[in-house]
Structures are given as C-alpha cells and as structure tokens.
Amino acid sequence: MIKFENVSFNYENGPDILKNINFTLAPGSYHFLSGPSGSGKTSLMSLLYLGHRPTSGRITMLSQDTKHMTREDFFSLRQKIGVVFQNYRLLNHLTAFDNVALPLRIQNKPEREIKSNVSELLDWVGLGDAQNSLPPTLSGGQQQRIAIARAVITRPKLLLADEPTGNLDSEMGYRLMRLFEQLNKMGTTTVIATHNQDIMERYKHSKLLLDNGSIYSNSKKDLLIKTIRDVY
C-alpha cells in the first residue's frame, strides 16, 4: 500500500510544488497520473521513488512509514521500485545490456541468471541486436526502451514511469503498455505519468489529475471539487 497524508513539497524553501496531497494506492492497482506542464508530476514521482523527502506530511511506501526508515531501509525499499525516468538516466559508458543488468547486479543476482534474463528482455523490447551498443549511439526511442527494460527487469512491486511512451511509435508504445499490464496483473502497483489521452482512454484505469500542486482522482466528488476551485 502507498499512502500520502497531507504531503507538501518544495525545493529549498521555494514555493510549494505539491500542496497538502492525500491519496492511497492499493497494492496491485494501476493509475495514470496526468496534469498540465509544471503541475508537479515529476516532483510527485520523485517522492514516490524516494528521490526526495517531503517538506511536510507522511508517506507510507509499500506499507513502510518512510519517516522512520533507516538509510539501509531506503535502499532495500528502492530495490522494490522500478522507475522509468523522463530523461531515461542511462549510464552512457555502459552497454544496453549492462544498463538493464544494473538493478540485478545491485541485488547480487548470479551472473548466469542476469545473462539469460537481460538478453530475453532486450529481445522482447526489440533491442536484441543492440545489446552491446552504448546509449549515445542509439535513438531516443531505443534509449527509452532500455530505460523501461531496466525498470521492469526485477519485477518490482511498484512501477513508476514518467512519460514512458513519449519517444516511441504507437505500435511499440502499446506493446510496452501491454508489458506494464502484464506486470500489474502479477501484482505490481503501477503509476504512469502521461499526457497521452489515447493511452488513458484505451486502458480504463484510475486517473490521478495533478493541477497547481493539488491532486484529484477521477471520482465524481473530486472532479466537482476541482470544478469549484477552477471557477473561484
């Protein structure tokens, strides 16, 4: 379970990017996170993958209260979270294979297991021939697929993806969305930050709307609150 209680966040005493956020994500649930540019999607994702601590409020991640976690707890919790960063954040000196293998190596998996799992996944995302290529020699779409493969290779309990289909053609985009669906069916809680209306309409999942640092779900009550706020 993931729970945000009265969470606010700002960067170095600047204005609040996220204001008094409250929501709960049930284990194995699937959500789309959308909102206009600058609404705080990336900041919210960063709190979800424990890249930052909230300025105030309480975050419970995978049933662990992050306020009372030790440094070691943070690392072991992060190993259960797969993240597709908006700018991919690949290590440019490592091959596609080594980038995808990174989370498994951090978890000290045997090299034999790493070889078979990574090769299989890279084949699946259409990068079987580019295993030994360095990210700078690949296209944006290929780099994005490496980032996605790295996020899902460990079958995480929570998958966070920031615009995961932004640089992909529609066929590959839908293919990867099916991969996320499959992972979700296996119990992975999934949060996809996207602007892509087609994808949100095609896959009928819960929608979280971020607007001006506040969050609204697609429930009628929340939408009414948002409309009233927009008017006044």
Partner 1 sequence: MSSIKRKNFKLGLDLFIKIIDIRFENMRSGYDLPLEKSPDTKFLLILVTLMVFLAVLSLSGSLALHDMSERWSSGLENKVTIEIPIETKDGHLLSQDTVKRETERLQIKLENHPFVKSAEILEDKDMGKLLDPWIGQDLLFSEVPLPGLIALEIKENAPTTLDDFRIDLAEMSSYANLEDHQEWLSELIRFAGILQSLSLIISVIIIGTTITAIIAAVRARMAIHKKEIELLHLIGAPDIYIAKQFRRHMSIIAFKGAILGTFLGLVSVFILMIFSQLIDSPLIPSLEISFISFLMILAFPLFFPAITSVTAYQTVLRSLKDML
Question: Which residue ranges make up the site for partner 1 (CB under 8 A)?
Answer: 49-53, 71-72, 74-81, 83, 89, 91, 93-94, 98, 102-103, 105-107, 110-112, 150
* 203 CB-near residues (< 8 Å, 6+ apart): 30, 32, 177, 181
Question: Which CB atom, from 102 or from 208, has the smaller least distance to partner 1?
Answer: 102
Minimum CB–partner distance for residue 87 and partner 1 (Å): 11
Minimum CB–partner distance for residue 139 and partner 1 (Å): 21
Minimum CB–partner distance for residue 129 and partner 1 (Å): 21
Strand residues in 41-138 grouped as ranges (E): 56-61, 64-65, 81-84
Minimum CB–partner distance for residue 149 and partner 1 (Å): 13
| Residue with the two structure tokens 């297991």 | 113
Measuring CA to CA, which residue among 159, 176, 150 is closest to residue 96?
A: 150
Question: Which CB atom, from 81 or from 122, has the smaller least distance to partner 1?
Answer: 81
Question: Which CB atom, from 183 or from 209, has the smaller least distance to partner 1?
Answer: 183
Q: Are strands 189-193 and 18-25 parallel, antiparallel or unpaired?
A: unpaired
Does residue 46 contact residue 89 with C-beta atoms inside 8 Å?
Answer: no
Question: Which CB atom, from 51 or from 126, has the smaller least distance to partner 1?
Answer: 51
